[in-house]
């Protein structure tokens, strides 16, 4: 079954359960409509989530034509456009259109001419809506050719690679793995995960029977370069002809599609997504769902306790639990001390690394400003975009390192406190069962690995699903309490500082352009000009220092070992939070009569069983 269908059915079942209960007055009493709304929202967010495929490769290797064949429609102009920095995003849509990305007002009828027209007219990305026959779960990204004389395309493509689920690298069959392609791939491997890469050897219609040796040579070369097995690569490499596939579509000739790689390519990508992404995706969905359903279950429990008059004991039970937890704190003091020491050490290293990296960025930018031709510096928002990118890369990398170390610290802490925790946990469970009837905690399996009190969800990050609630910005950082805020705050500072940078950039560039000098190197004998460049370099450095300061302040403010310990211990004893929720709820007015208790309990039991079966 398709992922979309499967998830959709699951949501439908759950919503039906809530719906089926909606005529019962308990539905209002328990405010179940609130939980249902949350589930509906989650369902909408998830159904809108698409897997992303980027088609990359050197110019004229056939990227746009390949996309036309995948879309089964001749919509993208196949022509060499040397300075394009744009990405064209192709989305599944009932209505066909082409527009400037995020500008619905600019929509035009979908024709090749209009795509060209908008493409030439706008500097922004272009978006195309079209029915995607075999790829409704996907969004396709057409990219500017890498190694293009245009200076931004590599940066843009590198950036995109980090954000998509699948990358298809295209090559021309008559020139497979040119030196420039090898260089690009080598640079890539150092920076990015290449397990999501597929390779298309396109234009095979031009080479005839040689194709198999072309593929073998390619596999041999690439497996050495990437140090991966040939068979792994073979599964992800396709001999293709976009031209013949388009012909096959036009003539409804299935044999052509088969012969020239279409079928193999579509099923290859689909298989990969199924085995690598779907499971993770489902895990996240289940986790989110179980959290919402758990709330409903707690409500049901509370009402049952109320009928049995057990809610009277809640306050006492909570006090007793809190006392146990505070004893727990005391008994693990040594372990806390060690954890804090480790934490502070990691934090200091983290800050130092951020500091050094930012200084390096300032130096890089100063270097670029004096070595690149003025046209490049002044082009678009070069300094702004480049600085922002460098900063994002560095912060992401360093936050990720810190988070990994933090995880190790937590694992150690966890092992240290385990014996005492076991005792306390038994004691608290005893208290709970003695004092009030039902515990939801044990009944709900929370998906996602809870490591050391941090709900650590790397799957979300690798999927990059913003809709599910973790911001893509900050990568791993977003999944960890405290850090998400720290980096989000800092990055908004980056944006505004980057704007300042851009203003500086355009001023200097304007002056230099007016003097008609090509490169800064060429006028370095003019004292006045050197001064200008120096001033500009200084202003860039100041801005970068400003950002560095903000990030370091945020790290100091947000990353407190005490907060982490609190979070950790709270997660270890979920009974406390559950009880607090029950106390709040039990103080509400309910519309039912206690003498109907048995009947109500039976109805609640029915709902409870249905919901629990889903988890």
Which residues of the chain form contacts with ligand GTP (CB under 6 A)? 57, 59-65, 78-81, 145, 202-203, 205-206, 241-243
Q: How far is the CB of 119 from Mg ion (least distance, A)?
A: 10
Residue nearest to Mg ion (CB): 64
Residue from 43, 61, 64, 575 in contact with Mg ion (CB under 5 A): 64
Q: How far is the CB of 167 from Mg ion (least distance, A)?
A: 16
Gap between the Cα atoms of 586 and 539, Å rounded: 60
* Token pair in block for residue 556: 């100091």
Cβ neighbours for 441, distance < 8 A, ≥ 6 positions apart: 574, 575, 578
Q: How far is the CB of 127 from ligand GTP (least distance, A)?
A: 17
Q: Is 438 in the site for Mg ion (CB under 5 A)?
A: no
80 binds, among Mg ion, ligand GTP, none (CB under 5 to 8 A by kind): ligand GTP
Please, which residue, 90 or 460, has the CB nearer to Mg ion? 90
Q: Is 68 in the site for Mg ion (CB under 5 A)?
A: no
Neighbours of 185 (CB within 10 A): 18
Please, which residue, 161 or 468, has the CB nearer to ligand GTP? 161
* Token pair in block for residue 287: 């986790």
Gap between the Cα atoms of 477 and 396, Å rounded: 7
Q: How far is the CB of 75 from Mg ion (least distance, A)?
A: 12
Are 92 and 138 a contacting pair, CB within 8 Å?
A: yes
59 binds, among ligand GTP, Mg ion, none (CB under 5 to 8 A by kind): ligand GTP
Please, which residue, 206 or 225, has the CB nearer to ligand GTP? 206
Q: Is 203 in the site for Mg ion (CB under 5 A)?
A: no
> 561-572 and 314-331 helices cross at what angle (nearest 10)?
130
Gap between the Cα atoms of 43 and 48, Å rounded: 9
Residue (of 405, 401, 550) closest to 476 by Cα position: 401
61 binds, among ligand GTP, Mg ion, none (CB under 5 to 8 A by kind): ligand GTP
Please, which residue, 43 or 64, has the CB nearer to Mg ion? 64
Q: How far is the CB of 150 from Mg ion (least distance, A)?
A: 13
* Token pair in block for residue 270: 């689909």
Q: Is 586 in the site for Mg ion (CB under 5 A)?
A: no
Are 493 and 468 a contacting pair, CB within 8 Å?
A: no
Gap between the Cα atoms of 514 and 532, Å rounded: 13
Total length of the chain: 615
Residue (of 374, 307, 172) closest to 595 by Cα position: 307
The residue to which tokens 């979920």 are assigned: 574
Cβ neighbours for 494, distance < 8 A, ≥ 6 positions apart: 387, 388, 391, 392, 547
Q: Dihedral sign, CA of 202, 207, 212, 213?
A: negative
409 binds, among Mg ion, ligand GTP, none (CB under 5 to 8 A by kind): none
- Give the CA radius of gyration of the chain: 29
DSSP alpha helix (H) spans, 314-381: 314-331, 333-371, 374-378
Q: Near Mg ion by CB under 5 A, which window of 59-67, 154-162, 405-413, 430-438?
A: 59-67
Please, which residue, 202 or 435, has the CB nearer to Mg ion? 202
Q: How far is the CB of 65 from ligand GTP (least distance, A)?
A: 3
Q: Near Mg ion by CB under 5 A, which window of 46-54, 58-66, 341-349, 517-525?
A: 58-66
Q: How many residues bind Mg ion (CB under 5 A)?
A: 2
206 binds, among Mg ion, ligand GTP, none (CB under 5 to 8 A by kind): ligand GTP
Please, which residue, 256 or 569, has the CB nearer to ligand GTP? 256
Q: How far is the CB of 183 from ligand GTP (least distance, A)?
A: 17
Please, which residue, 35 or 139, has the CB nearer to Mg ion? 139
Q: Dihedral sign, CA of 223, 226, 228, 232?
A: negative
Please, which residue, 63 or 388, has the CB nearer to ligand GTP? 63
Gap between the Cα atoms of 368 and 386, Å rounded: 10
Q: How far is the CB of 51 from ligand GTP (least distance, A)?
A: 21
Please, which residue, 157 or 565, has the CB nearer to ligand GTP? 157
Residue (of 525, 501, 258) closest to 388 by Cα position: 501
Which residues of the chain form contacts with Mg ion (CB under 5 A)? 63-64
């Amino acid at each position: 079954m398709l992922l979309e269908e499967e998830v959709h059915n699951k949501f439908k079942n759950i919503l039906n359960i809530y719906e089926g209960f909606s005529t019962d007055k308990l539905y209002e009493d328990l405010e179940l409509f609130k939980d249902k709304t949350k589930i509906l929202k989650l369902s909408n967010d998830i159904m809108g989530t698409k897997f992303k495929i980027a088609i990359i490769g050197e110019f004229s290797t056939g990227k746009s034509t390949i996309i036309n064949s995948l879309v089964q429609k001749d919509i993208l102009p196949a022509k060499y456009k040397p300075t394009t920095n744009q990405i064209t995003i192709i989305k599944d849509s009932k209505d066909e259109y082409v527009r400037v990305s995020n500008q619905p007002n600019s929509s035009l009828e979908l024709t090749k001419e209009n795509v060209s027209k908008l493409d030439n007219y706008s500097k922004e990305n272009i978006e195309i809506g079209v029915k995607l026959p075999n790829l409704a779960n996907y969004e396709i990204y057409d990219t500017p050719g890498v190694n293009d004389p245009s200076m931004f395309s590599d940066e843009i493509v590198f950036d995109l690679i980090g954000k998509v689920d699948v990358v298809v690298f295209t090559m021309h069959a008559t020139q497979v793995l040119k030196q420039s392609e090898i260089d690009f791939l080598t640079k890539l491997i150092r920076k990015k995960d290449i397990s999501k890469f597929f390779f298309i050897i396109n234009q095979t219609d031009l080479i005839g029977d040689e194709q198999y040796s072309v593929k073998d040579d390619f596999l041999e070369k690439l497996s050495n370069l990437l140090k991966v097995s040939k068979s792994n690569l073979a599964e992800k490499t396709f001999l293709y002809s976009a031209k013949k596939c388009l012909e096959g579509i036009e003539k409804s000739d299935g044999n052509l599609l088969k012969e020239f790689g279409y079928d193999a390519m579509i099923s290859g990508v689909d298989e990969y997504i199924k085995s690598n992404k779907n499971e993770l995706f489902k895990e996240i969905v289940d986790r989110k769902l179980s959290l919402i359903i758990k709330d409903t279950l707690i409500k049901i429990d509370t009402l049952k306790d109320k009928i049995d008059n057990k809610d009277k004991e809640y306050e006492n039970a909570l006090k007793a639990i809190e006392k146990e937890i505070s004893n727990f704190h005391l008994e693990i003091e040594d372990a806390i001390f060690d954890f804090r020491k480790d934490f502070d050490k990691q934090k200091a290293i983290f800050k130092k690394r951020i500091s050094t990296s930012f200084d390096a960025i300032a130096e890089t930018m100063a270097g670029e400003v004096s070595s690149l031709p003025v046209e490049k510096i002044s082009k678009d928002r070069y300094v702004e975009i480049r600085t922002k990118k460098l900063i994002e890369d560095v912060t992401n990398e360093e936050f990720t390192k810190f988070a990994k170390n933090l995880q190790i610290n937590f694992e150690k802490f966890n092992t240290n406190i385990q014996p005492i925790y076991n005792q306390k946990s038994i004691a608290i469970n005893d208290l709970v069962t003695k004092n009030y009837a039902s515990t939801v905690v044990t009944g709900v399996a929370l998906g996602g690995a809870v490591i050391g009190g941090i709900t650590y969800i790397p799957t979300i990050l690798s999927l990059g699903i913003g809709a599910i609630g973790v911001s893509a910005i900050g990568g791993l950082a977003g999944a960890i309490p405290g850090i998400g805020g720290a980096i989000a705050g800092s990055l908004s500072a980056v944006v505004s500082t980057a704007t300042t940078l851009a203003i500086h950039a355009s001023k200097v560039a304007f002056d230099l352009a007016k003097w008609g000098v090509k490169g800064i190197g060429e006028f370095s004998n003019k004292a006045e000009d050197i001064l200008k460049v120096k001033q500009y370099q200084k202003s860039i450095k100041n801005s970068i220092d400003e950002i560095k300061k903000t990030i370091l302040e945020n790290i100091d403010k947000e990353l407190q070992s005490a907060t982490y310990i609190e979070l950790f211990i709270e997660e270890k004893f979920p009974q406390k939070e559950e009880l607090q929720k029950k106390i709040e709820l039990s103080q509400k007015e309910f519309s039912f009569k206690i003498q109907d208790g048995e009947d109500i309990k039976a109805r609640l039991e029915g709902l409870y069983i249905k919901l629990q079966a889903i988890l």
